[in-house]
Amino acid sequence: MRTKLLYWVPTGLLAAMFLMSGTFNVTRQPNVMEILARLGYPSYLATILGVWKLLAAVTLVFGSRWPRLKEWAFAGLFFDLSGAIISHVASRDTVASSVPAGVLLVLTGITYAAQRRFGPAGSALNGAPRPVASVGHVAQPR
């Protein structure tokens, strides 16, 4: 039971945060649009980022059957959050404006570690061996 909690608590928190953030982006909430404008980004970026965030959140929760897709979701979240931090710093925004992205970046790292350590059996994220295949070759039993 403890193992499941260590797996699902950070995963659920991260997925919930990105479901919320993605929804805010897709629906073009005024605070999101103001931040994008202040950082110098075009308004259409809100929709693109929002869709990606929503897809990543769904993949975190339901993507155990597709470990490579889940790896890509984690990579996308890392790029989104590190890009947000860099954008705030480069535009000379307040340090406080980078804190939410920094907290989510740490949560992403914790979630990734929990996925690798406590993820479903057979998942490539938890170090399980992957089957190897090549075209025209049939593995012979030893």
Query: What is the DSSP track for 121-136?
Result: TT-GGGTPPPP--BTT
**For the stretch 8-27, what's the b/e string if a residue is b when 16 or more beta carbons lie within 10 angstroms of its beta carbon?**
eebbeebbebbbebbebbbe
Give the whole-angstrom CA distance, residue 46 versus residue 64.
28
Structure tokens that stand for 82 in this block: 């590190």
Whether 134 shows a pLDDT value over 80: the answer reads no
Cα angle 110, 114, 117; round to 5:
140
The share of the chain scoring above pLDDT 90, in percent, equals: 68
The share of the chain scoring above pLDDT 70, in percent, equals: 84
Q: What is the per-residue pLDDT across 33-79, written as a single tens digit (0 to 9) for each?
A: 999 999 999 999 999 999 999 999 999 999 888 889 999 999 999 99
Please report, as a single letter, which amino acid is at residue 137: H
pLDDT for the residue 122: 45
Domain ranges (residues) in the chain: 2-120
Q: What is the per-residue pLDDT across 92-108, written as a single tens digit (0 to 9) for each?
A: 988 899 999 999 999 99
Residue 137 binned pLDDT confidence (cut-offs 50, 70, 90)? low
